[in-house]
Chains A and B, each alone.
Chain A
Amino acid sequence: MKSVLLVMLPSVLIPAVLVFIWATVQRRKHPPSKEALESAALLLDRRWLSSGLAPVTFTGVHEGAYSVRKLALLHGMLKIALLTVPVLAFAWFMYTFTRELRKGDEFARRVQLEALSFAFPAILFWMMGMWLMDEIWPTPHHGTFSGALVFLPLMYCVGLFAAKGRYLPTHKDRP
């Protein structure tokens, strides 16, 4: 729990807050025109490619379930039941992801491909880095698979966010 509060949460929240501040400053500097907002309507719609939200939910549910499991007063059966909760969140991700893959148009698929082509090598790179770290400073904390489960979904979420942002019209696109 302490490591979640001191390391995990700040490493997720601080970049997000910095991006939000930067975006707010940019929006004030270059207020978007009505045409730009209209053309960005699809990209700004949260329901479009909602598979980006499922990984965040998975990470929250996974960390929450595993933190609650550590409480000593919980019954054994409840501890086992808590292990299945992240599986439901993963099932939701797979449902939204597959639905978008099947029913999405060419643009949706392009955004998904860009998200995956960031997420997959990023996870590969992260794992490779953790392995090398284990070789230099062997500690049991580096090599846990539960730790990787937090980063894997978030990488897809970051990839999707970046891919959507790439197609947003900016002040540079103005005639």
Chain B
Amino acid sequence: MSGKTSAPGGGGGKLLAVALLFVVIYFAARVVLEATMLPPWVRVSAAVVPVPVFVMLVVGFYRAIGCLDEFQRLIQLKALAFAFPASWVLISTLGLLEKAIRLPPEDLSYRHVWAMMPIFYFLGLWLAQRRYR
């Protein structure tokens, strides 16, 4: 995710490259999906294109975790241990809110929560690094 790994053989740089590639492909897919006059098969294909890159990113992240030293692993654990429950609380709250009132999808949808999750991760990473500085 962050690409800040100590994976041997330049694994961190490769992971960062895959992450950047994913972001580029994802936003390209979004641009294609904005064009509503396109036939459905083109729209579906555009939606599926980022999937293999994301799988590569997850596998790379998983492998990079295995190559980290003990201290870096602790930092990553603390970051994810913050981000995961924080995402859970956010989704729970929104789940309750959508029962109480109508949430406008253009203001609050998966699109917005999806963007919040990496923020939680980086916030957790910053908090963990600050703690051990």
Taking the closest CB of chain B, its distance from the CB of A137, in whole angstroms, is 9
Q: Are A120 and B80 in contact (CB under 8 A)?
A: yes
Q: Inside 8 A of B65's CB, which chain A residues have their CB?
A: 113-114, 117
Chain B residues near A122 (CB-CB < 8 A): 58
Q: List 15 A-B contacts (CB under 8 A).
A: A90-B88, A90-B89, A90-B92, A101-B81, A109-B77, A114-B65, A116-B81, A117-B62, A120-B117, A128-B110, A128-B114, A131-B109, A148-B113, A149-B92, A152-B91
**Could you tell me which A residues sit within 8 Å of B by CB distance?**
83, 86-87, 90, 94, 97, 101, 106, 109-110, 112-114, 116-125, 127-136, 142-146, 148-149, 152-153, 156
Q: Looking at chain B's contact residues, is the secondary structure mostly helix, strand, loop, or mixed?
A: helix
For B13, list chain A residues within 8 Å (CB).
Answer: none
The answer, yes or no, to whether B74 is at the interface (CB within 8 Å) is: yes
- Cβ–Cβ contact B84 & A156, under 8 A: yes
In the complex, which residues of chain B have a beta carbon less than 8 angstroms from the beta carbon of A144?
A: 95, 98
* Most chain B CB inside 10 Å of its own CB: which residue of A112, A116, A117, A134: A117
Minimum CB–CB distance for B1 against chain A, Å: 7
- State which of B33, B51, B58 has its C-beta within 8 Å of the C-beta of A135: B33
Assess whether A83 is in contact with B99, with CB atoms less than 8 Å apart.
yes
Could you tell me the dominant secondary structure of chain A's interface residues? helix
Q: Separation in Å of the A116 CB from the closest CB of chain B? A: 4
> Residue A134 contacts which of B29, B62, B87, B110 (CB distance < 8 angstroms)?
B110
Count of B residues near A, CB < 8 Å? 46
Contact A152 B87 (CB under 8 A): yes
B107 in contact (CB, < 8 A) = no
Chain B minimum-CB-distance residue to A110: B73
Contacts of B78-133 to chain A: CB distance below 8 A: 80-81, 83-85, 87-89, 91-92, 94-99, 105, 109-111, 113-114, 117-118, 121
A136 to chain B, nearest CB (A): 5
Q: Which residues of B contact A135 (CB under 8 A)?
A: 33, 43, 47
Closest residue of A by beta carbon distance from B113: A127
Residues of A within 8 Å of B29, CB to CB, are 132
Whether the Cβ atoms of A121 and B61 lie closer than 8 Å is yes
* Other A-B pairs beyond A83-B96, A127-B117, 6, CB < 8 Å: A86-B92, A90-B88, A110-B73, A131-B109, A134-B109, A149-B88
